[in-house]
Structure 1
Amino acid sequence: MLKIGITGGIGSGKTTVCRVFETLGIPVFYADTSAKEIMVKDEILVKGMKETFGAESYTEAGELNRPYISGLVFNDQRQLDQLNALVHPAVFRAFDNWLSTVPSNAPYILKEAALLFESGSYRMCDRSILVTAPLKLKLERVTGRDHTTEAQVLARMDKQLSDEQKMPMADDHITNDGSESLILQVLALHQKYLDKKF
């Protein structure tokens, strides 16, 4: 089965694009959503988190102590690298499990991941899509959605590769700035993947 990775910076609208693909009957694996779930469900990951960052990584109720982890990794690249080294393999395991549940008649699947290129998971896909939007528009979307400041959003963006860095790595591109129909762009790629013309 054809595996298509899809990514984009914060506020690019990659989730919206995925929803359009879903209306066409295409199964989508949301890596970032899955990561939140496996942080408490994947026993290998939980054990690794506690060994690496301490028992206080989790609350007494067994929930991830997000403020504690964020405080450790936000300004410490070494700690962030350690976190990613634990989480990314767990997400890969979750993806493999999810794949086993996908109907065999699905023409292809999408794997949505903010860190598709950074994590190296694009190598496990047959093709990749990059969703882009201008910085100003992304900032407007995220500050309005998350009720956060531009400075906070820019700090999060700084942890990811830029669109300019991702563009040469992507096979396909969707522009989400309102200048072109998002639906028509998705339909064109959908037909391309059905026909396997690439």
Structure 2
Amino acid sequence: MWRKKNNPLQIGITGGIGSGKSLVCRIFSILGILIYDADSRAKLLYIQDDDLKSQIIQNFGKESYTSAGQLNRGYLAKQVFNDSQKVSLLNSLVHPKVGKDYQAWVQKNDQSPYLIKEAALLFESGSYLSLDKIITVFAPVDLRIERVVARDQHRSEVEIRAIIAKQITEEEKINKADYIIYNDNKQLLLPQILRLHQEFLLNISSNEN
């Protein structure tokens, strides 16, 4: 399914921690494509959406926010990290808010040829179902861990592997995706992105004619 008439094509980009999905999105951005970073927007909504703040405090305690009104990430992480039911509860509060915010963003940018939504939990949240095409950025697990250790020096390899274990497998991501971008230090990244960029523009153009 390609772009519906009068609506921009909506592309999802996902990938496991350390896969390089943010790098891929930065390159698309350089090509002039607008990017909705779901994880960054969620962080803003935690603070700016009063209804979400109220629900989090109600379910996880007033310690979820500091006296200055900022999200107490350390506290909230400890509450949910090893409790799948609490993770599901938190996601059920946050994901609908992000979904609504994303739809407003799409409407605001509906003159763009195509739009990209970047999200680590694109499949887990179910939000991929509302998108036209999905790209998974792939890299081997050991390479991903190496990248994250170098990037986030406060995280141990054990912690990173625990995060990976909570996400769906790379095989599942690949099976659900329409396109795979390989960021494995074996294939050049830019030609893969340019090829997809041209394909999206060509299909949009053919649908409009």
**TM score, norm. by length of structure 2:** 0.91
Tell me what 1:131 maps to: 137
Find the residue that maps to 2:101 and give its secondary structure: helix
Give the counterpart of 1:121 among 112, 124, 127: 127
Separation in structure 2 between the aligned mates of residue 158 and residue 140 of structure 1, nearest angstrom: 16
Tell me what 2:86 maps to: 79
Separation in structure 2 between the aligned mates of residue 187 and residue 166 of structure 1, nearest angstrom: 22
Tell me what 1:9 maps to: 16
Matching of residue 143 in structure 1 with residue 149 in structure 2:
yes
Separation in structure 1 between the aligned mates of residue 156 and residue 67 of structure 2, nearest angstrom: 32
Separation in structure 2 between the aligned mates of residue 179 and residue 31 of structure 1, nearest angstrom: 28
Structure 1 residues 89-117: Cα deviation after superposition (integer angstroms, max 9, x where no partner): 1111221222233261x210000000000
Alignment of 1:80-99 (within 5 A): 80-99=87-106
Letter in 1 for 2:32: G
Matching of residue 110 in structure 1 with residue 116 in structure 2:
yes
Tell me what 1:64 maps to: 71
Tell me what 2:179 maps to: 172
1:180 CA displacement = 1.4
Find the residue that maps to 2:71 and give its secondary structure: coil
Tell me what 1:155 maps to: 162
Tell me what 1:49 maps to: 56
Tell me what 2:32 maps to: 25
Separation in structure 1 between the aligned mates of residue 110 and residue 32 of structure 2, nearest angstrom: 11
Structure 1 residues 174-193: Cα deviation after superposition (integer angstroms, max 9, x where no partner): 00012111000000001111
Separation in structure 1 between the aligned mates of residue 188 and residue 108 of structure 2, nearest angstrom: 32
Gaps of 5+ in 1: none
Structure 1 residues 139-174: Cα deviation after superposition (integer angstroms, max 9, x where no partner): 110001000211110011111111111111101110
The ranges of structure 1 where at least 4 consecutive aligned residues each deviate by more than 2 angstroms after the TM superposition are none
Tell me what 2:207 maps to: none
Bigger drift between 4-13 and 149-158 goes to: 149-158
Letter in 2 for 1:177: D
Find the residue that maps to 1:178 and give its secondary structure: coil
**TM score, norm. by length of structure 1:** 0.96
Letter in 2 for 1:178: N
